[in-house]
Amino acid sequence: MLQNIKVAVDAVVFGYESKKNLSVLLIKRGVEPFKNTWALPGGLVLEDESLEDAVERELLEETGVQIDYLEQLYSFGKPKRDPRNRVVSISYFGLVKPNHFKIQADTDAAEAQWFPITDIPELAFDHKSILDLAKARLKSKLHYQPIGFDLLSKSFPFSDLEHLYTTILEKDIDRRNFRKKLMSFGIIEETGEMSQSGSGRPAKLFQFNTKKYKALAKDGFHFEIKFV
């Protein structure tokens, strides 16, 4: 008996705008099934491309967005997850920095749009489950991997990081302890610049030192932030 299963990739891509909400990149489907329903960007993998390449290609085609961080999330393979053919979808988890938010709607898909995580429309297929899983992954990763920096600009005031954590984790932080802890790691450093002040005292700008982090990590260091 010949196997006839399609292989697709789907991407849950998060973005975070300074002091606003966490958002997810969605597209409106142009074809059946679920025509005109919002869905995760993605599509069938080409015969000779890697899964990661497929994700990046589909993202570019459908949204024009370039990703700053990408990792595999989970594979979904229930026989009936697609009403027509059997499709196994390998889902990916992506983050983009604020300077890559711009959507190029020129291309393939009907429409692409950022949705605040608090206001997600009905989604096609089992994409709601995929999104939920991705949210959980993001939340848990914030605790043990310095992944928040892939949602911030290259240089940022400390309060941005703080707000990122509080809004995504939906928990309050003791600002002083949080800052103390993060600084103690020695993986973020002052740029020397100051923020163009908004309404209040201007803030020092910081940046994440990837090299230092990697060096420390190789040396047994383990990033970890807890909350009460």
Active site residues: 111
Query: For residue 172, how many C-alpha atoms fall within 13 Å in the half-sphere facing its CB?
Result: 1
CB nearer DNA, residue 53 or residue 224: 224
Q: Is the peptide bond before 41 cis (omega within 30 degrees of 0)?
A: no
Which residues from 184-203 bind DNA, rule CB under 7 A?
194, 197-203
Verify binding: residue 177, DNA, rule CB under 7 A: yes
DSSP class of residue 123 equals B
Give me the 129-168 binding string for DNA, x by CB under 7 A, dash otherwise: ----------------------------xxx---------
Is the Cβ–Cβ distance between 25 and 41 less than 8 Å?
A: yes
- Token digits for 12? 């849950």
Q: Pick the closest to residue 76 from 110, 46, 42, 108 (CA basis).
A: 42
Verify binding: residue 79, its own copies, rule CB under 8 A: yes
CB nearer its own copies, residue 1 or residue 199: 1
- Token digits for 227? 């909350």
Verify binding: residue 172, its own copies, rule CB under 8 A: no
Verify binding: residue 31, its own copies, rule CB under 8 A: no
Can you give the binding site for DNA, defined by CB under 7 A?
A: 157-159, 174-177, 179-181, 194, 197-204, 226, 228
